Amino acid sequence: MEKGVMLPEGIRESFGCKEQDIRSFSPLTLAYIGDCVYELIVRTVVVERGNRQPQKLQKESAGFSRAGTQCRIYEALLFEVTEEEADILRRGKNAHFHTKARNATPGEYRKATALEALIGYLYLTGRMERVLELLKIGICKCGMDL
């Protein structure tokens, strides 16, 4: 485990959750939590830039939550990930979807889900520093500013 706040461990302890083998989780389960972690990171950065009306905060952060943006970050990270992380990305991209993407192509949606699955996996394994490192690299490689 990397240094830093072990948020999932604290949550498990506080609520009496059993430790589980995260490697057995479906990629869509990992993406479910990864979507939330990604959104929390984006919103935290936006809020830290200054106190504004909620609709202005939402407008500033909305572009980063689109499947197309997450797809670009996914593509920027393909040569930055470890073998273990690449496996999670592959599983996320190949997951069997039960919903259709709004405002995104199926390919963009699959890649966005893969990115969210990786974020969820890293979060649940206590590697938030790696999540932040990868997102920073991906966002910078895409020429975006968060």
pLDDT digits (tens, 9 = 90+) for 25-74: 999 999 999 999 999 999 999 999 999 999 999 998 998 989 999 999 99
Which CATH number does 25-141 carry? Answer: 1.10.1520.10
Asked whether 4 and 128 are in contact (CB, 8 A), the reply is yes
Catalytic residue (one of 21, 35, 87, 145):
35
The verdict on whether 87 is a catalytic residue reads no
Q: Tell whether the model's pLDDT for residue 102 goes beyond 70.
A: yes
- Residue 107 has which token pair? 């390919």
Distance CA 79, CA 75 (A): 9
**pTM summary value:** 0.91
Q: Tell whether the model's pLDDT for residue 144 goes beyond 90.
A: no
- When pLDDT is averaged across residues 113-126 and rounded to a whole number, the result is 96
